[in-house]
Amino acid sequence: MIALLFDIIGMTGTFLVVGSFFLLQLGKTSPTSLMYNMMNLTGAILLLISLCYNFNLASFVIEIFWIAASLIGLYKYVKNRRAVTAS
């Protein structure tokens, strides 16, 4: 039962990460948008949680980098929003 829960968490993360990429390729979002970066961040975190049950070092490392890239994107999004509202 616990394995199923971690599989559901991992698959949800996968759908978020892959879904954000598909939305980007379809022109429905941009790489600087809040939605794109939040979907990637949430997906990577969920995948990292799923790795607590079935650990895989390579997957763990890529999810850490994915989280870092998403946080950089979110930082830039907030920074740009502040610059626009300050103008």
The pLDDT value recorded for residue 39 is 98
Q: Is the pLDDT confidence value at 24 over 90?
A: yes
- DSSP calls for 22-37: HHHHTTSS-TTSHHHH
The boundaries of the domain holding residue 5 are 1-86
How high is the pLDDT of residue 49?
97
Q: How many domains does the chain have?
A: 1
Stretch (H or E) spanning 78: helix 57-86
Q: What is the pLDDT of residues 28-61, one digit of tens each?
A: 999 999 999 999 999 999 999 999 999 999 999 9
pLDDT above 90: residue 18: yes
- pTM reported for the whole predicted model: 0.93
Q: Name the residue among 75, 86, 14, 87 with its Cα closest to residue 49.
A: 14
Angle 34-37-42 from CA coordinates, rounded to 5°: 115
Q: CA 1 to CA 76: how far, in whole Å?
A: 40
